[in-house]
Amino acid sequence: MSIPLPASSLGRIVRGTGPGLLLAHGAGGGIDANYGPIMDTLTAEHTVIGPDYPGSGRTERSEEPLTLDGLADELVATAVEEGLNTFAIAGYSLGSPVAIRAATRHPDRVTALVLTAGFAHPNPRFLLATKLWRDLLSAGDLEQLAAYVSLIGLSTHALDTIGQDDLDTALKTTAATIPPGTPEHLDLIIDHVDVRTDLATLTVPTLVISTTLDQLVTPHHHRQLADAIPGARYAEIAAGHLPFVEQPEEWAVLIRDFLRDCHA
C-alpha cells in the first residue's frame, strides 16, 4: 500500500497525451534545463508531468532541508494532482534515486523506471566532487563554479572540440542560470541519498542508461544500479554527465523505445 500523499507545492509543466510519464531532474538543474531538448519526443507519445524541485524553475526555494522521502512523495503527488493515477518515471542524476524511492513508496502508481546517469549512494569520490561543488557555490565565485561544473559535467571529447567563443558563452550562461535551490539539492545528495536497500525490492520494468564518459556520476554507479535491480535492462550513451547537451536524440530514443516496449 502506498504512503499517503501530501499536497504538492512544486511548479510543473504538463504536456502531451498518452500514458503518464513523470520526470525527475538533477541537482542544480530543472525540467527545462535537463529535459527541454528531448521534450518533443517524450510528449509525442506521453502525458508528461515535469515538476521542478524547490528552488528550481517554477518552484519557490524551500525554507526547510529537503528529504528524499519528502521529494519523492511530492513528485508523485504532482502527477496525481494532474490526473494521472499511474505513470512511468524518468529520473536523471539525482532524479534517479528520487524515482527509485517514489517507486518503493508508491508501488501501485509507478509502472516503469528509466534511470539515466544515476546512483544509489554517493561513494567517496562522488562525495568529494559534490562537496567541492557546494563549497564553490558557497564562496560565491560563480565563474569558478561554472568552470568546475563544465569540466566535470561534460566529456573530455565535448570540451576538446568546443571553440573558445562557444565555451566562453557556455560558462557565462552556466554562471547566470544556477538555480537558487542548488545548495539544498547538493545537501540532499551528501546527507540523505541512499537507496541501496530499495533496489532489490523493485518489481517494475527498469532501464538503466549509462553515460559512459561521465566524470561526475561515473559508470561505476550506473552498473551498481543495473546489477542490483531485478531484471533491469542496461544501455549506454557515449556522453558525459549531460546527455541532453551531448547526445539528446540518442537519449530520447532510448527512453521512448523502452517505454513503447513496456506499454506493448
For residue 250, the model assigns a pLDDT of 98
Which residue positions in the chain have pLDDT lower than 70?
A: 1-2
pTM: 0.97
Residues in contact with 230: Cβ distance below 8 Å, sequence separation at least 6, in sequence order: 200, 202, 203
Cell 576538446 identifies what position?
A: 160
For residue 103, the model assigns a pLDDT of 98
- Domains of the chain (ranges; CATH) run 12-124+181-263 (3.40.50.1820)
For residue 1, the model assigns a pLDDT of 57
| pLDDT digit string, tens, across residues 216-254 | 999 999 999 999 999 999 999 999 999 999 999 999 999
Average pLDDT over the chain, rounded to an integer: 97
